[in-house]
Chains A and B, each alone.
Chain A
């Protein structure tokens, strides 16, 4: 029987693996501190922590329990607010009160959990990262300034944190109860998790499927892709970087190897969703979802990535740009699993940029996004790949624009002409994310933004508009 730890109790789960962690916590265990706000990962009221034993040390992340199948926490430590509460308030709780960071209170536990998760991270404290930990938590009452002040106080209090022994330091300083000290040992005693993908409905992080197909999943056994540690890896060999199909977005961000290929990966990733979602959502899931505005689809299209599709022991590898046949129509059989993503490691003269604009700049779905990977020599474009999302039925690789620009010099005139080509190969439609006219103009601007940002000495906005 699969098992996990909820707060300080071991749970032997007899529920279907597709049961949502949120429902388990609130209704099966009646731990009602965890709230329901939207059930689609967009408010953070249901935030809990998930801890995993990595190299002998516990690593905790905040996640939205409304999108987490219970199967994805087998063998892990789940913490709800009841698992943080002690006789006295924790510093996180106390500062939220001191700075009046709570009004109606409904979102508050989510903030407390995210901030406590931040305290549990094994990195040195800084205010920017602390704020990033609550980027998935929405508050409708406070206007956030009081929460920012609380976050500043919390960060200050962490300045002497012993990041080699985070849990011990936090227990000593009353951030968390002392049962956390025994968790690593108890984790080892949990029932081993079976590493096999069943034929049931496949779930990666679940962050999209549980929004789209909630009713069809919550009482079912599901196939757990993200849980397969064998699919969570990032390697580099012979100039090729390969990423396992179970790799989460946070895995990418935290990978020194992957980060080394991009000069400002964290800025790009910050544009994509929120930290609790990035902690569970997989890159492969973003591809298979087939949304025309998938941010990581745009990202990897510009890397001209390839994907490996596997069925039983049969593998085949295709270009990501050939994966999409039409709106939500993939070159993939029902049984195939996206097991790996690979791309040529960018050359030293190559630059990369991701642009995205949405109604709200963070934690939102793009109106239009675009990525570029470009290598130049003597101001001439040697290789170039450009993608765009939100301007057609599929994530778009801008073939004609790329062909036009290859071998050209970086000049305003060439970029303006390339935009003419670009406009001819897109077909945006009007929807809730913007009118077709807006999306055309916006893609032009994001296309220009790539060059203004990457070639500030050659290209200024003024020369383009």
Chain B
């Protein structure tokens, strides 16, 4: 089934927050942010801005009736700065005006006097000064300290990866309208409707029941709207509370880029030890996560770095430690992969380092150490259903790895001005929220008396096709035509206490809750039908909009059955609940079984580097991926292609640039570049691994949102491989992204 939203998308009829028809009297909110990264507010003069015609009000912390606090994990982030500012762009006030054009003009009239403090932008500097968001954590397996002596080879080094701007094409935004009795409805572009609801209630000083959050869809999220959609919804609602008029707040692109956090930059140290036959015996790493000025989701992101520190490899002795370092950047946040890619980049760097020193191909070490069933992860879970060796041999066979290598060697021997390179990138990614309580979901299903069906879940549609999958599940289970099923908006009044749409787990959690709801309804409907046909419940089945009895089609349609059940006063509404079984994690010992299952795969990346200009083009990326049993190939293959290219962007051209004062230099689309149609690989081939699929995956169709992003890591190492073909003296720096600048400097370094 094609994405059910596609027709609305291609005709421009799909509705995003800014497309909702505005109610008469709607006002427009514009945040005023700190001009500097760190300082003490001495005074703010709003008088000229307030006097500007059309400005209705300027809201500050003084207008907050509840708590001036939006921190999700830790209460360490103010909605509006009161005394101090900790990052450039940190909101200090909200201008509310008759139009956004008026608000922009008024914003320029605000005069602020700040005592400037020296900002910290480097996570290692923050760690040295004791500036941590929370205490460090360590995952351990075996004993690294006593392993080094047994290693034939030990290598140490540093690996850095930069941040990444989400660049959802729809910027952050919300539209809040007053309802009666002080209730407020917020239409929000958020991955976490409940987070918006909970935080709004907290700031406004009201119960959560007063706040209704509704999400139709997002124009992209990628993690950037998991936690960081919240302040804009809260501000709009605060405007409603104070002014009793609808308030719309849509960030412009530059404000969005300056005011919101991004993928965490990491600086890391590694130490890797190998046996003579290239088995990795020991691995240590220290991760310095650049968390920015407040916790946001950094603790959870940091945790996933530790979970994925050894990627797709089994290492018997591991000790990895992570520091969440407090700096004066906007609070960094969730981004597809959620700390996992940053951790994986480090071990891939360590392996590439070892391979260079030992003069063997990197993939020889990779292949030698692949995870297999029964291996223990550093966090205690035992690997199961791995399939990496099959994936590896499939890739070698399907894409003729030997031939590719030979062609690249021949090409390089015959060309001086251009060089080709390649890399192999295996991935292993755990599926579930690592915070066990978040692995729950609910779905509300109405069967209307005419047989049509309304489905509400906690899943937010942001392009990943989750609503299509939900609709497939309901239509398949009731065996009715998909046109009879409607996916409702995600709404906190219909489905409460939702986990955000994140961790690749949205379809699994909400789909299983939906299955539970459908099963309960089917049970009741079968009972009605069984009574009618005077048979057992087990004799009834639904197929093609018809009721089947003892394997034969009856003349009763789905609609007739529903109508009959309704008249019998059978409940045709069900709320399904699902909580992932098995999973657990004990932080006190850092051991447990945190993931429902893992997703695995392997990518072969081929690149051509222009050694005159330092630019590069990707010839191909060829992937063998473990989908399980994909329930929707067009959606799932689209996730692989899109995730891969996003990961490649992070590793190549996407360069976040803060100056030493903590000011974002790459604050617009003219200075921050994401892949365009000319920069994607000429060819992307995706082969599915033949496999059973995991029981805990919805319909055995494994989660596919985040894992493919990490295939993009291969871009870095493929470029490096080509650079070394031109300049054997190049000493690897493991400093992603590998921009055109870094490539040219590497080509001509001594």
Binding site for B on A (CB under 8 A): 30-40, 42-43, 45, 80-82, 85, 89, 92-94, 96-98, 100, 102-109, 112, 131, 134-135, 137-148, 211, 215, 218-219, 355, 357-365, 367, 431-435, 437-438, 441-442, 445-446, 448-449, 452, 460-462, 465
- Residue pair B104, A215 in contact (C-beta under 8 Å): yes
Per-residue contact bits, chain B 1-44, to A (CB 8 Å; 1 contact, 0 not): 01101111111111110110100000000000000000000000
Complex interface: chain B residues within 8 A of A145 (CB)? 641, 680, 684
Q: Whose C-beta in chain B lies nearest to the C-beta of A84?
A: B11
Task: Give A218's nearest chain B residue, CB to CB.
Answer: B101
Q: Which of B3, B11, B645 contacts A144, CB < 8 Å?
A: B645
- When the two chains form their complex, are residues A442 and B669 in contact, meaning their CB atoms are under 8 A apart? no
A85 and B12 form a contact (CB under 8 A)? yes
Q: Are A357 and B740 in contact (CB under 8 A)?
A: yes
Q: How far is the CA of A131 from the CA of B682 in the complex (A)?
A: 13
Q: A42-B669, A42-B670 are in contact. Are A112 and B10 (CB under 8 A)?
A: yes
Residues of A within 8 A of B644 (CB): 143
Would you mind naming 11 contact pairs between A and B with Cβ atoms under 8 Å apart? Answer: A35-B169, A42-B669, A89-B7, A97-B3, A100-B634, A104-B168, A104-B220, A107-B219, A140-B167, A461-B611, A465-B748
The answer to whether A134 and B653 have CB atoms under 8 Å apart is no
The answer to whether the Cβ of B116 comes within 8 Å of any Cβ in the partner chain is no
Chain A neighbourhood of B250, CB < 8 A: 36
In whole angstroms, what is the CA distance A21 to B464 when docked?
31
CB contact between A138 and one of B221, B642, B674 (< 8 Å): that residue: B674
Q: Choose one: B12, B166, B670; the contact of A40 (CB below 8 Å).
A: B670
A205→B409 CA distance, assembly (Å): 49
Query: Cα distance A434–B748 when bound, in Å?
Result: 16
Determine which of A89, A105, A148 lies in contact with B463 in the assembled complex, contact meaning CB atoms within 8 Å. A105
- Assess whether B11 is in contact with A89, with CB atoms less than 8 Å apart: yes
Whether B673 contacts A93 by the Cβ 8 Å rule is: no
Residue of A nearest to B99 (CB): A27
- A109 in contact with B10 (CB, 8 Å): yes
A357 touches B615 (CB 8 A): yes
Check if B416 is an interface residue, CB within 8 A of chain A.
yes
**With contact pairs A102-B3, A359-B740, A360-B673 given, residues A143 and B680 touching in the complex (Cβ less than 8 Å):** yes
Docked Cα-Cα span, A145 to B638, in Å, equals: 9
Q: Which residue of A lies closest to B659 (CB)?
A: A432
A35 touches B219 (CB 8 A): yes
Is B73 close to A, CB under 8 A? Answer: no
Known A145-B684, A359-B739; contact A38-B220, beta-carbon cutoff 8 A: no
Check if B14 sits within 8 Å of A105, measured CB to CB. Answer: yes
Q: Is the CB of B677 within 8 A of A360?
A: no
A43 to B674, CA, bound (A): 10
Most buried by A among B462, B637, B677: B677
**Least Cβ–Cβ distance between A249 and chain B, in angstroms:** 17
Q: Are A146 and B641 closer than 8 Å at their CB atoms?
A: yes
- Chain B hits for A148, CB < 8 A: 677
Contact B646 A143, beta carbon cutoff 8 Å: yes
For the complex, give the distance between the alpha carbons of A109 and B643 in Å: 21
Complex Cα distance, B679 from A141, in Å, reads 14
- In Å, the complex CA distance between A382 and B10 comes to 56
Partner of A448, one of B9, B14, B19, B612: B612
Q: Given A42, A93, A109, A442, which contacts B744 in the complex, CB threshold below 8 Å?
A: A442
Question: Closest Cβ of chain B: how far from A27's Cβ, in Å?
Answer: 9
CA distance A434 to B416 in the complex (A): 25
Residue of B nearest to A108 (CB): B9
- How far is B635's CA from A365's CA once the two chains are assembled, in angstroms? 34
- B401: Cβ under 8 A from any A Cβ: no
Q: Are A43 and B416 in contact (CB under 8 A)?
A: no
Q: Is the CB of A362 within 8 A of B679?
A: yes
How long is the Cα–Cα vector from A286 to B300 in the complex, in angstroms? 48
Q: Is B217 an interface residue (CB 8 A)?
A: yes
Q: Are A104 and B218 in contact (CB under 8 A)?
A: yes
Does B170 have its Cβ within 8 Å of any Cβ on chain A? yes
B358 on the interface (CB 8 Å rule)? no
Nearest-CB residue, chain B, relative to A131: B677
Distance of B253 from chain A, by nearest CB (Å): 4
Complex contact B653–A35 (CB within 8 A): no
Shortest distance from the beta carbon of A377 to any chain B beta carbon, whole Å: 26
- Contact call A100/B8, Cβ cutoff below 8 A: no
State the CA gap A20–B91 with chains docked (Å).
Answer: 28
- 1/0 per residue, CB under 8 A from A, across B647-673: the answer is 000000101010000000110111101
Residue in contact with B679 in the complex, picked from A32, A33, A92, A360, CB distance below 8 Å: A360
B residues near A85, Cβ cutoff 8 Å: 11-13
Q: How far is the CA of A89 from the CA of B10 in the complex (A)?
A: 9
For A96, give its contact among B10, B168, B614, B744 (CB under 8 Å).
Answer: B10
* Docked CA distance A139–B222 (Å): 13
User: Which of the residues B18, B465, B670, B744 comes within 8 Å of A103, measured between beta carbons?
Assistant: B465
Given the known A-B contacts A37-B169, A100-B2, A146-B641, are A32 and B676 also in contact in the complex, defined by CB atoms under 8 Å? no
Chain A minimum-CB-distance residue to B637:
A100
Interface residues of B in 663-717 (CB under 8 A from A): 665-666, 668-671, 673-680, 684
Cα–Cα distance between A360 and B669 once the two chains are bound (Å): 11
A362-B676 CB under 8 A given contacts A138-B169, A432-B671: yes
Q: B465 and A363: CB pair below 8 A?
A: no
B416 and A40 contact, CB distance less than 8 A: no
Complex Cα distance, B615 from A293, in Å, reads: 18
- Closest partner residue, chain A, to B632 (CB atom): A100
CB neighbors of A among B469-507 (8 A)? none
| Minimal Cβ-Cβ distance residue in A for B745 | A438
Interface string of B240-261 (1 = CB under 8 A from A): 0000000000101100000000
Contacts known (A97-B2, A143-B684); A445 close to B8, Cβ less than 8 A: no
Q: Which residues of B contact A43 (CB under 8 A)?
A: 169, 669
Q: A107 to B168, alpha carbons, bound, how many Å?
A: 10
CA distance A93 to B12 in the complex (A): 10
CA distance A112 to B10 in the complex (A): 7
What's the least CB distance linking A33 to chain B, in Å?
Answer: 2
Q: If A103-B465, A143-B642, A357-B614 touch, does A37 touch B677 (CB 8 Å cutoff)?
A: no
> B45 contacts which chain A residues (CB < 8 A)?
none
Contact A35 B170 (CB under 8 A): yes
Nearest A residue to B222 via CB reads A140
Cα separation A437 to B221 with both chains bound (whole Å): 37
Q: Is the CB of B275 closer than 8 A to any CB of chain A? A: no
CA distance A81 to B166 in the complex (A): 27
- From the candidates B18, B416, B614, B645, name the one contacting A460 in the complex (CB within 8 A): B416
Which of chain A's residues have a CB closer than 8 A to the CB of B669?
37-38, 40, 42-43, 138
Q: Flag if A367 contacts B9 (CB, 8 Å).
A: no
User: CB distance B416 to A104 under 8 Å?
Assistant: no
Q: Which residue of A lies closest to B108 (CB)?
A: A215
Q: In the complex, A433→B666 CA distance in Å?
A: 9
B417 interface residue (CB < 8 Å to A) = yes
Measured between beta carbons, the chain B residues less than 8 angstroms from A363 are 676
Known: A100-B634, A442-B744. A105 touches B645 (CB 8 A): no
**CA A146 – CA B637 in complex, angstroms?**
10
A103 in contact with B684 (CB, 8 Å):
no
Q: Are B614 and A445 in contact (CB under 8 A)?
A: yes
Contacts of A431 in B (CB 8 A): 665
Q: Is the CB of B101 within 8 A of A107?
A: no
For B655, list chain A residues within 8 Å (CB). 359
In the assembled complex, B145 has its CB within 8 A of some CB on chain A? no
CB–CB B741/A434 < 8 A:
yes
